[in-house]
Structures are given as structure tokens and as C-alpha cells.
Amino acid sequence: MHLRDGLQTHATVRQRYDHLVDNGTLRRDGAQEAVADHLDRLIGEIADKRIARKSSALGWLFASKRQTREPVKGLYIHGGVGRGKTMLMDFFFELVPVRRKRRVHFNDFMADVHDRIQKHRQARKEGTVKEDDPIPPVARALAEEAWVLCFDEFTVTDIADAMVLSRLFSALFSNGVVLVATSNVAPRDLYRDGLNRQLFLPFIAILERNAEVLALDSDKDYRQDKMNRMPVYLMPADAAADRQMDEAWTEITGGKAVETTVTVKGRKVTVPHAAGRAARFSFAELCDAPLGARDYLALAEHFDTLFIDHVPVLDQTRRNPAKRFILLVDTLYDTKKRVVMSAEAAPDKLYAGRMGTTEAFEFDRTASRLIEMQSKDWLEEWAARHARAAASPRQDVASGG
């Protein structure tokens, strides 16, 4: 432990983890401690390798013959959502004493790889490069930019990715790249039901030879546990509610979200913020937009938790948005989803139109359902279903979580 710019810092992943336990931010977990210790050992091996890479006589003096001869074996950490994998990897990334390092979401990395492959092929057509095969030069360039690669959410769902991974990572490892990755699934479950999976299987063997596989077997979903203690209906929809919504969203997503789309009968429904099985919308995006029952059902099929910001008080002047909101709540209720919402008023005060109308009658049911969806029983039942689903690995199309 040392001071930097007047602030206390920590020299190892374990020290940083212990500090967060001591100040009450985290609860001690033996599985997390084991991963932290593995990451610290890897930092030591990488530091020795870095010394060995130097051309100075002093560097070669301190590096052992074994370390100069053998490549450093990375880490592949897998476990359920909310177990602390990303947190520990981020500690590692900050502390590993390497300048050429890269921390990236795996899907973003593969998008970059495909772009580079395409550019190489175009350059080959134009005669500006000589190599026909784009994989070796792409791997060399990536290794030159960063020889320590940290991947968050390692998952393979795209056949284009699956078909290049074996050759790409063989070349990366040959160029001295050290991999640290987190995933929800063990290597042998990657691309489990994918097309032409037999062509992907060599990659699993390559991965297991070049990275130690660790299971973060904690029976506690800490992110969900904290999220479950937060309110799910915030009013009024003011700046304070916005801050609480942002805090809850960060807890459930780990601060990572992307814009994506859900296809409904050939149409694309935009999801402005998605991470794993969670999505976030404003009321306007869900209910002012011309969406219908099929759209809401498709969203419910893709996501287990929906965040909805800024639900206004409605009346007969906003008849269509009111009808859509009623339909949306009915859909989420029927499909047993968790809803986190900021609203201008309590559920039974959200409709201020004429009493006795169809909308007023239907809104009574909506209010009752919103109240039930805040209840302890509802949320505990949702958490139990979520835990059962998490126990069976699945590869979600939506990024994150």
C-alpha cells in the first residue's frame, strides 16, 4: 500500500479487495479472494516477463530462464452474473505494470478484428500489401498495440466470429499476447448450439492451453442483492429520482449499456439502452412512439427488467399514450417482469382524466398491477425465477449484464 498524489492506493488486487471489504463496500467472499490471488500471481508473472523483454543487461539478469522461455498463461474467469468478475478484472487491468494493454468488451474487439480483416483484403486488392491471408498481419498489429488483453463478457454467438477465432488467437498467443477474460460460461459451453460448432471446437483447446480456467463459484449475486434493496417505484420524477434511477441502472448493468434493436415482424424497435437482460427507456420512447402489443411482448421476451423514466400524469388529452401505457403494464405484469420506474405521482394518481371512462376503468387495473409489482412477494418471486434462469447458461443477443 502506498500514496500517490496524496491518495492511498493499493499495490495488489487482494489489497484493493480487502480495503473494500474493510470499509463495508463489499462482503468477504472466498471465491472472490481466490480469483484476486490468481490475478496477483499473474501480475507478478507479467512483470517478470516485462523485465525479460527488455534488452538491457539488467533486465536479463533479473528474469529467470524459465520466464524467458515459456509464455505467460492468462486467466479465463467464468461464473454467473453479479459475482464480481468484472470488478476484479478491472482491478487487475489498472494494476498490471504494462503500458501496451487493452481492456475491451469482447464483441467490440471482434468488430474491430473484422474491420481490420476487411481493410487488409481491400489493401491486397489494391496491391499495397503482399500477404493473402489477413489473419497473421492483423494479429501482429493487435499484439503490437497491446500484449495484455482484457475481455469483458466473452461470449460467442456470431458464426463469423466463431470461424476466425482459432486462427486469430493462435496467432495472438504466438505473438506473446496474454489474455484475461470474464464470461458467464465455461470455455466448453461457448458457442454451444452454434452452427458448424465442430469448426469452432479447436479454439476451445487453444484457449485452455493458453489461459487457466477459473470458476467464480459464489452462490450470491451481489449486484442483484443490492438492486433488490432499492425502491422500484420513484416519485416524483425529479432530479433526485433521476439519480436513484441512474444508480439502480448502474448496479444492475455494471455501468455498461449499448443501443440495440428488437425485430418485430420485420420491423426494428430501438432499445436505447440495453445490457444483458435489462433495458431502459423513457415513457416517451415506449408510449408516445407508435408501438403496439406485439412490440411490448417482444421486449418482454428479450428483457427481464425494464427501467422506465418519467411517467407523467395522463388524461384524455393524451389518450393514445395512456392506452399504450395500460397495454405495456399489462404485458409486463402477465409476463412476470421486474419494472423500475420514475413517475410524477403514485400509481392510483397517474390518471387524472374524467372518471367513468374506459381509460379510467382500465387505469384502475393498471394502478393495482403497478402496486403489486412493487411488493416484496412479487420481487422475491422474480428473483427466484431469475436465479433459476441464471443457473442454466444462455447466450443473450443483447450485449451486457
Fold of 222-389: Rossmann fold (3.40.50)
Superfamily per CATH, domain 2-215: P-loop containing nucleotide triphosphate hydrolases (3.40.50.300)
- pTM as predicted: 0.56
Query: For 219-255, what is each residue's pLDDT tens digit?
Result: 555 555 555 557 788 899 899 999 989 988 887 777 6
Residue 360 has pLDDT above 50, yes or no: yes
Asked if the bond preceding 187 is cis, omega within 30° of 0, the reply is no
Phi/psi-derived region of residue 53, left when phi > 0, alpha when psi is between -120 and 50, beta in every other case: alpha
Beta carbons of 18 and 27 less than 8 angstroms apart: no
Beta carbons of 106 and 154 less than 8 angstroms apart: yes
pLDDT reported for residue 392: 44
Beta carbons of 351 and 322 less than 8 angstroms apart: yes
Query: For 24-79, what is each residue's pLDDT tens digit?
Result: 777 888 889 999 999 999 999 998 887 766 644 454 445 444 444 578 999 999 98
CATH 3.40.50.300 in the chain, residues? 2-215
Beta carbons of 68 and 52 less than 8 angstroms apart: yes
For the chain, the average pLDDT equals 83
Residues 6+ apart with CB under 8 A from 46: 72, 96, 97, 98, 148, 178
Helix, strand or coil for residue 361? helix
DSSP-derived secondary structure for 21-32: HHTTSS---HHH
Angle in degrees, 0-180, between the axes of helices 319-334 and 358-373, rounded to the nearest 10: 40
pLDDT reported for residue 377: 80
Lowest-confidence segment of 21-30, 84-93, 161-170 by average pLDDT: 21-30
pLDDT reported for residue 221: 52
Q: How confident is the model at residue 5 (pLDDT cuts 50, 70, 90)?
A: very low
Query: For 182-220, what is each residue's pLDDT tens digit?
Result: 988 889 988 887 888 888 999 999 999 999 999 887 555
